[in-house]
Amino acid sequence: MWPVVAVIAIMWAAAACGGTSQTTSPGQTSPAQTSPAQSSPAQQSSPATSSGKLCLQPVVPAYFYSSAIWTQAADSNPAPSDIILDISGVGAGDAPDAHFQAVAQQAAAAGETILGYISTVDGQRPASQVETEVRNYKAWYGVTSIFLDRVSGEPQQLAYYQQIVNYIHGFDAGSSVWLNPGDYPDQQYMSIGNVVMVFEGTYAQYLTLQVPSWVDQYPASKFAHTIYATSAADLENALNLAASRRGGHVYVTDGAGANPYAGLPSYWSREDSVASSGCLAG
């Protein structure tokens, strides 16, 4: 699970969580093991432009309480398009929190989409509890888009996740729903979530990530990759790999340990600039 009190700033690509071991973050940490990695970016909707520059929306899992760090992320130029708000590590918490109300309002005023973090406990959490979290995010924070964490990705739980996503879209037709199995799920999940986080792990794991061939059937904007324990020297290679693997939404950090998202990466400004260098303004 992700840290208990945190705000995730997500910036993703396409215009920037998975495996067998768990961290205290919302997803798993191991790389996907499915089929041979693709050797080149897909022809359409690629995050890499003809100039060789990238057009990624770097995702910033800002799992920290500090208003100063939150402001640094929210006020980045270019600004993140999506920010995940994690109140309790499970959902919206037991009551409104004035601190998180303020940072959510700040980000919304800057035109950023806030995603409310909810853990599904690998499909074991009662759907009624998840639906209560959805209602509380809207009532307390004005948040209608949702980041579902600890998604099992298994075919036997497909109906469970379809029910929850249908509820979220029914509650607010304009909502966006992100799923985080942390590695490549059963392909049917691609028709459920607006975005699916298909990798959450270390840079070392990312180097050997195996990408299923069906990935080419979808635009890069459907996929998110979160890569931690990445040195400054490896930043650009990580971003280039994400683009070649159709990772439209990506976050790279040098953070590591139990909570790799306890602050922004030391190279945050550079990452923000390189990731979006090929995007058209406006």
CATH number at residue 80: 3.20.20
Three-class SS string for the chain? CCCCCEEEEECCCCCCCCCCCECCCCCECCCCCCCCCCCCCCCCCCCECCCCCECCEECCCCEECCHHHHHHHHCCCCCCCEEEEECCCCCCCCCCCHHHHHHHHHHHHCCCEEEEEEECHHHCCCHHHHHHHHHHHHHHHCCCEEEEECCCCCHHHHHHHHHHHHHHHHHCCCCCEEECCCCCCCHHHHHCCCEEEEEEEEHHHHCCCCCCHHHHHCCHHHEEEEEECCCHHHHHHHHHHHHHCCCCEEEECCCCCCCCCCCCCCCHHHHHHHHCCCCCCC
**Residue 280 included in any domain:** no
**Residue 21 included in any domain:** yes
Reported as a single tens digit per residue, the pLDDT across 78-134 is: 888 888 888 888 999 999 999 999 988 988 888 888 899 999 999 999 999 999 999
**Residue 243 included in any domain:** yes
Residues whose CB is less than 8 angstroms from the CB of residue 270 and which lie 6 or more positions away in sequence, other chains included: 232, 235
Structural domain including 214 reads 6-275
**Residue 282 included in any domain:** no
Which residues of the chain carry a pLDDT beneath 70?
A: 1-46, 48-52, 62, 280-282
C-alpha distances out from residue 99 to 6, 7, 85, Å: 11, 11, 11
pLDDT recorded at residue 75 = 87
**Residue 185 included in any domain:** yes
**Residue 281 included in any domain:** no
- Which of 182, 252, 261 has the alpha carbon at shortest distance from 223? 182
pLDDT recorded at residue 51 = 57
**Residue 118 included in any domain:** yes
**Residue 126 included in any domain:** yes
Number of domains making up the chain: 1
pLDDT recorded at residue 16 = 37
Reported as a single tens digit per residue, the pLDDT across 131-158 is: 999 999 999 999 999 999 999 999 999 9
